[in-house]
């Protein structure tokens, strides 16, 4: 595979070498080959320049998923601007924070939200607002349509910023991770090589564009390999299965896999051409991995990444894909475990730290927060706990902030969740700590049940006592209809902690 030193060259080189090779296709039958994508990004780039956007300026967008939304990202790469993707679920108050913090030269909003967006942007010091819809509508689309000459491709150093990606921010204010162009290049190259991407590959894309997984991890590797993407505006199991009939790649979050498995339409034949299923962003249960393999004959490849670091580790393409593990460090990435707090099967669980060309340049205008997450020797402290097994594979035990400390003992939620999930009738579980008058924190479990199953709290807790040390066994177990999750499928333990904060009557 060719090595590039600028991310826009992924598009430019394909447009020159194989101009008519397919690149993007949407739900409405719009198809763009690489030459058309290069041209369209050039015209969008010209519209950005017309609005006064210059190298290093931020362009924030809160728009629905579409090919034009992907093109905003490519146009920004082309003219050297910095994209700031924002979740469409953010409220006006949240939006005000992101705009005031990132100070974009331009904010692209949904046509349906124009008035509110303009008000919030003006109050936050951003004077330019344009709109962009999903069907080439909105004021920005009209401005693009008027452009005649594509913007020149701006040369930007790999240390230049490509994006500010705001972290999910489950504790405190979310921070803007400064992703450089060099980060994108290094990670896309590593993934395209590790996962053997070739121009003939076709990815089914159902992830949102405001998160690192959908915007960068999946698209960049495909662009770097000059492959193509079938873009769906959302994840819908039947539509996805139908689309997989002509695809070779799928990248999803664990919830996608459980929802695919719930559909009888998922058969070996329906995914016959797919050579790689990748999962990330949240833990994939070993049970889901096994169920998927026995249904389809394909072993899901799990990998581990985060907003600040893109992808750190991946199970191997060839060789053992270990269910329950996130695999081995990607080439160029170093992973170590520090501050080990406990020995588990002779391996130390501790803080996962990473160093490599994938790690972001720090947090936007927050040098103290940047410094707090870096060690003296340049490793990034991920905030995740884990262990490296005898084969060198990384296993994640949970977030450090989710660690429960009860009566002075550390309890790793993942261990309890695995024990709960293995019990009959339990579909999913989340273990968390809430204030307890005696123990400081009380280990607490929320579970969902397999349809038509009843469980008795005391019976389940008694069953756990057979396999876990007493201090690890939850003090209480609550049955709920559904675990609260964010749009990337991550269980929101902060919400569970809020809901059950008075469970032990403090």
The token pair that represents 186 in the structure block: 């290094």
* The only residue of 49, 51, 261, 282 in contact with ligand AMP, by rule CB under 6 A: 282
Q: Is 310 in the site for ligand AMP (CB under 6 A)?
A: no
Residues in CB range of 102: below 8 A, 6 or more apart: 58, 60, 84, 164, 176, 364
Q: Is 330 in the site for ligand AMP (CB under 6 A)?
A: no
Closest CA to 282 of 492, 25, 22: 492
Site for ligand AMP in 133-192 (CB under 6 A): 167-168
Q: Is 326 in the site for ligand AMP (CB under 6 A)?
A: yes
**C-beta of residue 353 within 8 angstroms of C-beta of residue 329:** no
Shortest Cβ 218–ligand AMP spacing (Å): 13
The token pair that represents 120 in the structure block: 């919030």
Select from 95-103, 274-282, 430-438, 469-477 the region that touches ligand AMP (CB under 6 A): 274-282
Q: For strands 202-205 and 249-252, give the pairing.
A: parallel
Shortest Cβ 254–ligand AMP spacing (Å): 8
Q: How far apart are CA 421 and CA 284, in angstroms?
A: 13
Select from 134-142, 222-230, 302-310, 446-454 the region that touches ligand AMP (CB under 6 A): 302-310
Shortest Cβ 127–ligand AMP spacing (Å): 31
Q: Is 280 in the site for ligand AMP (CB under 6 A)?
A: yes
Q: How far apart are CA 326 and CA 284, in angstroms?
A: 9
Q: How far apart are CA 135 and CA 148, in angstroms?
A: 20
Instruction: Find residue 83's DSSP bridge partners.
Output: 59, 163
Q: Is 85 in the site for ligand AMP (CB under 6 A)?
A: no
* The only residue of 195, 223, 292, 304 in contact with ligand AMP, by rule CB under 6 A: 304
Shortest Cβ 472–ligand AMP spacing (Å): 20
Give whole-number Cα distances, 506 to 32, 431, 500, in Å.
60, 19, 11
Shortest Cβ 223–ligand AMP spacing (Å): 20
Q: For strands 328-329 and 334-344, give the pairing.
A: unpaired
Select from 153-161, 280-288, 437-445, 451-459 the region that touches ligand AMP (CB under 6 A): 280-288
* The only residue of 40, 306, 420, 430 in contact with ligand AMP, by rule CB under 6 A: 306
Q: Is 281 in the site for ligand AMP (CB under 6 A)?
A: yes
Closer to ligand AMP by CB, 134 or 487: give it: 487
Select from 32-40, 228-236, 242-250, 298-306 the region that touches ligand AMP (CB under 6 A): 298-306
Instruction: Compute how many residues bind ligand AMP; rule: CB under 6 A.
Output: 18
Closer to ligand AMP by CB, 133 or 280: give it: 280
* The only residue of 6, 38, 353, 384 in contact with ligand AMP, by rule CB under 6 A: 384
Give whole-number Cα distances, 348 to 197, 283, 343, 468, in Å.
35, 20, 5, 18
Q: Is 212 in the site for ligand AMP (CB under 6 A)?
A: yes
Site string for ligand AMP, 337-376 (x = CB under 6 A): ----------------------------------------
Select from 32-40, 50-58, 109-117, 277-285 the region that touches ligand AMP (CB under 6 A): 277-285
**C-beta of residue 118 within 8 angstroms of C-beta of residue 131:** no
- The secondary structure element, H or E, covering residue 456 is none
Shortest Cβ 377–ligand AMP spacing (Å): 21
Site string for ligand AMP, 389-428 (x = CB under 6 A): -------x--x-----------------------------
Q: Is 33 in the site for ligand AMP (CB under 6 A)?
A: no
Closer to ligand AMP by CB, 48 or 207: give it: 207
* The only residue of 64, 101, 302, 415 in contact with ligand AMP, by rule CB under 6 A: 302
What percent helix, strand, coil does the chain show, rounded to 5? 30, 25, 40
381-396 burial, b for 16+ CB within 10 Å, e for fewer?
Answer: bbbbbbbbeeeebbbb
Q: Is 224 in the site for ligand AMP (CB under 6 A)?
A: no
Q: How far apart are CA 3 and CA 9, in angstroms?
A: 10
Q: Which stretches of 346-397 are DSSP H helices?
A: 367-372
Closer to ligand AMP by CB, 32 or 191: give it: 191
Shortest Cβ 455–ligand AMP spacing (Å): 26
Q: Is 307 in the site for ligand AMP (CB under 6 A)?
A: yes
317-346 burial, b for 16+ CB within 10 Å, e for fewer?
Answer: eeeebbbbbbbbbbeebebebeeeeeeeee
Q: For strands 310-314 and 276-279, give the pairing.
A: unpaired
> What is the strand order of the sheet 426-436 is part of?
426-436, 440-449, 476-479
Shortest Cβ 188–ligand AMP spacing (Å): 16
Give whole-number Cα distances, 179 to 168, 183, 185, 362, in Å.
15, 6, 11, 8
3-state SS, 75-90, equals: HHHHHCCEEEECCCCC
Binding footprint of ligand AMP on the chain (CB under 6 A): 167-168, 212, 280-283, 302, 304-307, 326, 382, 384, 396, 399, 488
């Amino acid at each position: 595979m060719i090595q590039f030193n600028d991310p826009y060259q992924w598009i430019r080189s394909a447009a020159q070498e194989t101009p008519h090779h397919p690149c993007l296709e949407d739900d409405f039958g719009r198809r763009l080959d690489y030459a058309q994508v290069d041209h369209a990004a050039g015209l969008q780039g010209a519209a950005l320049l017309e609005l006064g956007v210059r190298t290093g300026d931020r362009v924030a967008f809160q728009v629905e998923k579409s090919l034009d939304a992907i093109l905003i990202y490519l146009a920004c790469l082309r003219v050297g601007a910095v994209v700031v993707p924002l979740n469409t679920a953010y409220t006006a108050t949240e939006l005000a924070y992101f705009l005031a913090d990132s100070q974009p030269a331009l904010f692209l909003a949904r046509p349906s939200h124009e008035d509110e967006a303009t008000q919030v942007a003006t109050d936050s010091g951003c004077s330019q607002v344009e709109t962009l819809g999903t069907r080439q509508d909105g004021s920005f689309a009209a401005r693009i349509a008027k452009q005649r000459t594509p913007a020149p491709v701006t040369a930007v150093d790999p240390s230049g910023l490509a994006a500010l990606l705001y972290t999910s921010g489950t504790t405190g204010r979310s921070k803007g991770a400064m992703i450089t162009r060099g980060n994108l290049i290094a990670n896309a190259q590593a993934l395209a090589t590790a996962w053997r991407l070739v121009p003939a590959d076709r990815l089914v894309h159902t992830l949102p564009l405001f998160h690192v997984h959908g915007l960068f991890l999946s698209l960049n590797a495909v662009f770097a390999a000059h492959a193509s993407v079938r873009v769906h505006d959302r994840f819908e199991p039947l539509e996805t299965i139908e689309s997989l009939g002509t695809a070779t790649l799928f990248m999803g979050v664990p919830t996608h896999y459980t929802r695919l498995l719930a559909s009888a339409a998922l058969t070996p034949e329906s995914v016959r051409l797919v050579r790689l299923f990748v999962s990330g962003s949240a833990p994939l249960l070993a049970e889901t991995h096994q169920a998927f393999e026995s249904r389809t004959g394909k072993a899901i490849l799990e990998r581990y990444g985060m907003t600040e670091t893109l992808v750190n580790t991946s199970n191997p393409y060839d060789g053992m894909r270990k269910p329950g593990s996130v695999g081995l460090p990607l080439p160029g990435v170093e992973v170590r475990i520090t501050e080990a707090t406990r020995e588990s099967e002779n391996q130390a669980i501790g803080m996962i730290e990473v160093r490599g060309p994938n790690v972001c340049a720090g947090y936007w205008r927050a040098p103290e927060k940047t410094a707090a997450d870096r060690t003296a020797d340049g490793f990034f402290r991920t905030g995740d706990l884990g262990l490296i097994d005898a084969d060198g594979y990384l296993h994640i035990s949970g977030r450090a902030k989710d660690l429960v400390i009860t009566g002075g003992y550390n309890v790793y939620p993942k261990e309890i969740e695995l024990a709960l999930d293995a019990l009959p009738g339990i579909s999913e579980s989340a273990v968390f700590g809430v204030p307890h008058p005696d123990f400081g924190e009380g280990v607490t479990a929320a579970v969902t049940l397999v349809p038509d199953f009843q469980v008795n709290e005391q019976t389940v807790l008694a069953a756990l006592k057979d396999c876990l040390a007493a201090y690890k066994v939850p003090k209480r177990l609550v049955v709920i209809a559904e675990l609260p999750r964010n749009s990337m499928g991550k269980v929101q333990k902060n919400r569970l902690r809020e809901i059950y904060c008075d469970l032990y009557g403090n």
